[in-house]
């Protein structure tokens, strides 16, 4: 059996042996200290702690003996443990140690807890106490602090040694705790220079508190000197840091309770390091300015950089060594002024991909990327946290990405590597992270949605971008999207499809792909377009017509049709028969029809998928967009199609113009234009209210455009006649400058879909201008609406037009004519013997000749008023969309100066004016419908009278009565104030005269393909009974029209009585032709 005994006593020992063994003997308080210092212990091997003193306070007393007795056998080991605990307390905040304290008041607990009672009864003698407790007076050992590490006791306070580390305390992750021996060590070699300096100054403060001259804590002098000396030794062993200032924690209860018993108050506040710039701050792209710094948290950074964690500063005075991520997560610690993220969270949990090759043509992917799955190429969605795009441009992020497909025991794996440029410990340092993704079947997406960005450019000040998404009814087989910084996202369902329209103020750098639960499943990066530096200027002429709208630009004297280039970024590859229709109907069209001459645009609006905003709050793109119809898809009867925008549909009118203005601005910005001077036209038939409202609409929308586009928009006021002109003036400028016709004595007619704008010129001086609502729709479209089956003669199915009324019918026919008129005209020669076709051509001829007759009347009145000096008929220059109808009046299908119908037109001018028929020619524009828009931006020929503000009163053309005042057909007709009654002579003298002269002219001139009305005889006219019935029906139609011309003259579109009567006659004849 082994007998354990204490080592022998030294020869000079002061220990007196007991008189009798086995008997307790009363000793002085310093007996244990005498025993410890008298042991002759020189055994080799590992030093063990002496804790065999028979008392509950054994560990504290052992530490006291070790520190206060220089001969204590394991004194150096105990000092190292003591230093280790002081170091942990001092650097608790700097390192973020999980160190807490609890106060134990034995005097209060002794009567409640038996163990506390035992402790109290065995309180050590305060012979070496550094302080006394005087308020209230109590034993120095009565109040003790227990120190906890991760909520487990690791030490205590001591009046004689300040602190006592526990014999078997577990200081997990404390760098100077040896987990093999289970002992604390001195922290010297585990500190960086900053920490050494901070601890050096903290120990100085502790020394000064312990040894204060006033002995304010009433400690034992010898004990104070001993402990003060040990503190100073510890301090000196760290080095010398005189420049270091004392910086203590701002938290008065850092350890959760205040340490305030005697000199222990010096332990209450650990040091805090002066804040230093973070070493783990992500270095963002220079373009990313208005974002908080992002700190990357990852303990592996120290390994990657081969740097001690305490040398890597994270935030403020915290280093990687003191980092407490859990406290950040549960928000017990909040870092202000920065954002933070763990590096592992920069990757998404799964890798999703599109199971198609090159499915994202608009995406920005790392160069040379090739990912295969099941034997075919696939397209990846980048498994990255979108937060990265708040700090990197897509270009820079791409440079930091590497994708490598590798084979593992579990199958094909994608290794996604990401290089993070961080601020570093001494300049920028890279930190590479990676994640391995197994390529799984369940993560494959078989389809992609329609995904578009418009416009695809960047320009200074441009803040109006739109994104469009359509899931193509694929549902869960594709992804949904969210765009960064989206403004007013509009998500909606239509049928089985899901849609989204979004506005952004900057070109997006990425698209966030999401699943049905709106969780991010991957990113699509977008390449940043080059920034356009805008310096140029455009003059833009806009001819907003009833059927079509045209735009011309003048840039440095070069005048051309607006270049309608595509500004789309096609992000996804979708079949064209899926993609094109939804872009036409729900978004900005990418292409225009016909592609070889996209202008003019149809004046049609689509409101499909609109937001149903209150009136006056509608927004372009969201609530209405320019619609580009094609022959087969266009159905004007759909409730999401808006036509007749120019005259009646004011909300749709505004939306159309807003989108038009935005689209033109985008094209201008793409072409580096900084300033746009808008030149606008309007028909003279506009009432004052119409004119003011139209001008105000443009004023409002260009003001919005200025804020959205960064382009300076100069928009004319209603009386700024250089840039706000009637269509009749603009077309005259066109004929003078573009086609080189003189305006010595000339008539210009802009024949559109709803109006014909007329201007009379002499020696480049404007004599008269007016606008009459007699144009393509009255001269042609209305007849086919009455008899839609007729169009079958041109290989058009009757059901394409069957059932369509008024605006819808006209819109559909306009599209057919735009796209097919050349083919139809080729068939004219084969229809000359067709009675039905002859009847239609005669109707067109009557209407057109009637317009000429009225122009003749104008010439006669101007001569009578001595405004027109030549007293002869003029050549006529005809343009506009409706001018193409003249081609129908030539059996060849092509009107020119040699067309026989010229003779009839000249005769009508002569008969209307009573001037000699000098057989003047009509010249048809070489660019029908381009004339007004083009003329708005031309100014070579200096025409006179363009700035005349006074509106020319209309010439009546037919006897009438206005508010009981008789007006001769050659008089001017002015509507002023309240219109109570308006009548046209029941005799219709001028209209009847015209019709007689028309039929007579056809008989005399024998124009091929056009015959007089049946039953016509010279000097007699039409057969009597038919004639009477015809004029009765005409008067009835006319009366129905006149009923609407009442009220405030500001709101009435004035029409010449002759034109009103002519239109009534055409309606009657049209019904007769259609058998109705």
Complete DSSP assignment for 888-955: GGSTTS---TT-THHHHHHHHHHHHHT-----PPEEE-SSTTTHHHHHHT--SS--BSTT--SPPPEE
Q: Are residues 805 and 848 in the same domain?
A: yes
Task: Look at residue 149 and tell me whether its pLDDT is greater than 50.
Answer: yes
Task: Look at residue 91 and tell me whether its pLDDT is greater than 90.
Answer: yes
Q: Which residue, of 507, 532, 557, is where some domain finishes?
A: 532
How many whole angstroms separate alpha carbon 226 and alpha carbon 14?
A: 21
**Per-residue b/e over 670-704, b at no fewer than 16 CB within 10 Å?**
bbebbebbbbbbbbbbbbeebbeebbebbeebbeb
Task: Provide the pLDDT confidence category of residue 2 given band limits of 50, 70 and 90.
Answer: very low
Q: Is residue 826 part of a domain?
A: yes
Task: Provide the pLDDT confidence category of residue 42 given band limits of 50, 70 and 90.
Answer: very low
Q: Check which CATH number belongs to the domain holding 504 and give it.
A: 2.60.40
Q: Is residue 629 part of a domain?
A: no
Bridge partners (DSSP) listed for residue 133? 138
Q: Whats the size of the chain, residue-wise?
A: 1076
Alpha carbon of 235 to those of 188, 232, 240: distances in Å? 10, 5, 8
- Give the mean model confidence (pLDDT) for residues 904-929: 95
Q: Is residue 608 part of a domain?
A: no
Task: Look at residue 45 and tell me whether its pLDDT is greater than 50.
Answer: no
pLDDT for the residue numbered 212: 85
pTM: 0.79
How many whole angstroms separate alpha carbon 414 and alpha carbon 404?
A: 6
Q: Is residue 648 part of a domain?
A: no
Q: Are residues 191 and 313 in the same domain?
A: no
Q: Are residues 765 and 862 in the same domain?
A: yes
Phi, psi of 749 (to 5 degrees): -130, 125
Q: Are residues 986 and 862 in the same domain?
A: yes
Task: Look at residue 678 and tell me whether its pLDDT is greater than 90.
Answer: yes
Q: Are residues 324 and 176 in the same domain?
A: no
Least confident of 25-29, 343-347, 797-801: 25-29
* Distant-in-sequence contacts of 45-50, Cβ < 8 A, 24+ apart: 47/73, 47/74, 47/77, 48/74, 49/74, 49/77, 49/78, 49/167, 50/74
Q: Which residue, of 418, 445, 472, is where some domain finishes?
A: 445
Q: Are residues 430 and 509 in the same domain?
A: no
The token pair that represents 204 in the structure block = 């100085």
Q: Is residue 2 part of a domain?
A: no
Q: Which residue, of 532, 550, 575, is where some domain finishes?
A: 532
Q: Is residue 659 part of a domain?
A: no
How many whole angstroms separate alpha carbon 289 and alpha carbon 292?
A: 9
| Host domain of residue 511 | 447-532
Closest CA to 780 of 771, 791, 767: 791
The percent of residues in the chain predicted with pLDDT above 90, rounded, is 73
Q: Are residues 117 and 225 in the same domain?
A: yes
Q: Are residues 857 and 994 in the same domain?
A: yes
How many whole angstroms separate alpha carbon 291 and alpha carbon 286?
A: 11
Task: Look at residue 47 and tell me whether its pLDDT is greater than 50.
Answer: no
- The DSSP secondary-structure symbol of 245 reads P
The token pair that represents 322 in the structure block = 């003191």
The percent of residues in the chain predicted with pLDDT above 70, rounded, is 95
Phi, psi of 313 (to 5 degrees): -80, 135
Task: Look at residue 485 and tell me whether its pLDDT is greater than 80.
Answer: yes
Q: Are residues 1019 and 1052 in the same domain?
A: yes
Q: Is residue 578 part of a domain?
A: no
pLDDT for the residue numbered 41: 47
**Number of other residues whose CB lies within 10 A of the CB of residue 57:** 18
Contact 587, 626 (CB under 8 A): no
Q: Are residues 347 and 462 in the same domain?
A: no
- Each residue of 583-613: pLDDT tens digit? 999 999 988 888 888 999 999 999 999 999 8
pLDDT for the residue numbered 391: 95
Q: Are residues 962 and 1030 in the same domain?
A: yes
Q: Mean pLDDT highest for which of 163-167, 787-791, 942-946?
A: 163-167
- Continuous H helices in 516-612: 576-586
- Each residue of 856-915: pLDDT tens digit? 999 999 999 999 999 999 999 999 999 999 999 999 999 999 999 999 999 999 999 999
**Number of other residues whose CB lies within 10 A of the CB of residue 806:** 13
Structural domain total, the chain? 4
Q: Are residues 195 and 337 in the same domain?
A: no
Closest CA to 209 of 193, 234, 182, 227: 227
Q: Is residue 748 part of a domain?
A: yes
């Amino acid at each position: 059996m082994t007998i354990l005994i204490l080592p022998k006593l030294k020869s000079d020992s002061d220990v007196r042996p007991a008189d009798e063994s086995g008997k307790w003997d009363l000793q002085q308080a310093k007996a244990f200290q005498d025993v410890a210092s008298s042991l002759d212990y020189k055994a080799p091997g590992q030093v063990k702690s002496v804790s065999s003193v028979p008392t509950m306070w054994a560990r504290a007393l052992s530490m006291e003996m070790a520190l206060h007795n220089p001969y204590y056998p394991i004194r150096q080991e105990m000092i190292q443990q003591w230093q280790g605990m002081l170091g942990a307390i001092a650097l608790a905040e700097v390192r973020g140690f999980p160190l807490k304290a609890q106060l134990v008041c034995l005097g209060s607990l002794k009567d409640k807890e038996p163990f506390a009672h035992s402790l109290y009864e065995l309180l050590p003698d305060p012979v070496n106490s550094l302080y006394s407790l005087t308020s209230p007076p109590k034993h120095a050992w009565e109040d003790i602090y227990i120190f906890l590490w991760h909520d487990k006791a690791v030490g205590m306070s001591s009046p004689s040694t300040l602190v006592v580390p526990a014999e078997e305390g577990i200081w997990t992750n404390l760098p100077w705790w040896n987990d093999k021996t289970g002992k604390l060590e001195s922290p010297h070699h585990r500190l960086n220079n900053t920490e050494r300096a901070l601890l050096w100054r903290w120990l100085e403060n502790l020394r000064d508190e312990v040894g204060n001259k006033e002995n304010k804590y009433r400690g034992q002098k010898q004990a104070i000197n001993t402990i003060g000396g040990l503190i100073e030794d510890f301090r000196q062993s760290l080095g010398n840091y005189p420049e270091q200032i004392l910086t203590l924690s701002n938290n008065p209860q850092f350890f959760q309770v205040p340490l305030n018993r005697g000199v222990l108050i010096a332990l209450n506040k650990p040091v805090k390091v002066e804040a230093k710039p973070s070493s783990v701050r992500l270095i963002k792209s220079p373009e990313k300015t208005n974002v908080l710094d992002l700190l990357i948290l990852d303990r592996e950074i120290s390994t990657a950089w081969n740097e001690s964690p305490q040398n890597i500063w994270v935030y403020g005075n915290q280093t990687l060594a003191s980092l407490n991520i859990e406290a950040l997560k549960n928000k017990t610690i909040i870092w202000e002024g920065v954002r933070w993220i763990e590096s592992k969270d920069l990757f998404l949990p799964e890798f999703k991909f599109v199971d198609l090759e090159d499915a994202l043509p608009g995406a920005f992917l790392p160069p040379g990327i090739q990912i295969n799955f099941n034997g075919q190429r696939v397209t990846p969605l980048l498994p990255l946290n979108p937060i990265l795009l708040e700090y990197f441009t897509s270009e820079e992020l791409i440079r930091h990405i590497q994708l490598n497909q590798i084979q593992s025991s579990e199958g094909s794996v994608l290794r996604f590597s990401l290089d993070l440029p961080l601020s570093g410990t001494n300049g920028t340092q890279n930190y590479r992270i990676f994640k391995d993704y197994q390529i799984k079947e369940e993560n494959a997406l078989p389809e992609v949605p329609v995904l578009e960005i418009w416009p695809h450019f960047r320009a200074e000040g441009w803040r109006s971008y739109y994104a469009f998404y359509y899931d193509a009814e694929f549902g869960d087989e594709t992804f949904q999207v969210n765009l960064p910084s989206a403004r007013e996202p509009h998500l909606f369902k239509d049928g089985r499809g899901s849609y989204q329209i979004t506005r952004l103020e900057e070109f997006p750098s990425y698209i966030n792909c999401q699943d049905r639960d709106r969780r991010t499943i991957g990113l699509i990066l977008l390449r940043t377009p080059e920034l356009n530096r805008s310096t140029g200027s455009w003059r833009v002429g806009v001819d907003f017509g009833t059927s079509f709208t045209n735009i011309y630009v003048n840039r440095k004297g070069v005048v051309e049709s607006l270049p309608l280039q595509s500004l789309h970024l096609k992000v996804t590859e979708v079949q064209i028969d899926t993609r094109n229709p939804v872009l036409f109907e729900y978004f900005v069209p990418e292409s225009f029809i016909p592609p070889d001459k996209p202008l003019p645009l149809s004046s049609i609006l689509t409101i499909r998928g609109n937001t149903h905003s209150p009136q006056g709050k509608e927004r372009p793109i969201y609530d209405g967009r320019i619609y580009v119809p094609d022959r087969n898809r266009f159905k004007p009867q759909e409730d999401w199609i808006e036509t007749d925008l120019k005259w009646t549909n004011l909300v749709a009118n505004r939306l159309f113009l807003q989108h038009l203005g935005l689209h033109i601005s985008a094209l201008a910005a793409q072409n580096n234009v900084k300033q746009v001077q808008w030149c606008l036209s309007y028909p003279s038939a506009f009432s004052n209210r119409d004119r003011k409202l139209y001008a105000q609409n443009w004023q409002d929308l260009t003001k919005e455009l200025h804020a959205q586009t960064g382009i300076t928009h100069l928009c004319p006021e209603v009386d700024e006649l250089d840039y706000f002109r009637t269509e009749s003036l603009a077309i005259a400028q066109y004929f003078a400058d573009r086609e080189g016709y003189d305006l010595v004595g000339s008539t210009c007619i802009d024949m559109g879909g709803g109006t014909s704008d007329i201007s009379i010129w002499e020696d480049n001086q404007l004599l008269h201008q007016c606008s009459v609502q007699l144009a393509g729709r009255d001269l042609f479209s209305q007849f086919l609406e009455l008899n839609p089956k007729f169009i079958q003669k041109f290989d058009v199915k009757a059901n394409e037009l069957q059932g369509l009324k008024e605006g819808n019918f006209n819109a559909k026919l306009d599209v057919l004519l735009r796209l097919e008129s050349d083919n139809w005209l080729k068939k004219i020669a084969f229809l000359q013997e067709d009675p039905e076709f002859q009847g239609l051509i005669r109707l067109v001829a009557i209407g057109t000749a009637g317009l000429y007759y009225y122009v003749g009347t104008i010439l006669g009145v101007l001569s009578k008023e001595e405004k027109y000096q030549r007293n002869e008929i003029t050549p006529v220059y005809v343009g506009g969309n409706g001018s193409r109808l003249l081609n129908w009046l030539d059996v060849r299908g092509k009107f020119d100066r040699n067309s026989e119908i010229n003779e009839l037109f000249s005769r009508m001018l002569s008969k209307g004016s009573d001037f000699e028929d000098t057989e003047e020619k009509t010249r048809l524009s070489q660019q029908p419908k381009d004339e007004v828009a083009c003329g708005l931006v031309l100014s070579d020929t200096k025409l006179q009278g363009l700035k005349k503000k006074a509106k020319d009163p209309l010439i009546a053309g037919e006897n009438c009565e206005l508010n009981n005042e008789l007006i001769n057909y050659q008089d001017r007709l002015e509507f002023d104030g309240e219109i109570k009654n308006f009548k046209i002579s029941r005799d219709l003298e001028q209209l009847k005269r015209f019709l007689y002269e028309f039929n007579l002219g056809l008989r005399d001139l024998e124009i091929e393909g056009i015959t007089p009305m049946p039953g016509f005889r010279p000097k007699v006219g039409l057969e009597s009974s038919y004639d009477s019935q015809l004029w009765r029906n005409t008067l009835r139609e006319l009366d129905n029209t006149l009923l609407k011309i009442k009220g405030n003259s500001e709101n009435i579109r004035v029409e010449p009585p002759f034109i009103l009567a002519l239109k009534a006659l055409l309606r009657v004849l049209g019904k007769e032709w259609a058998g109705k």
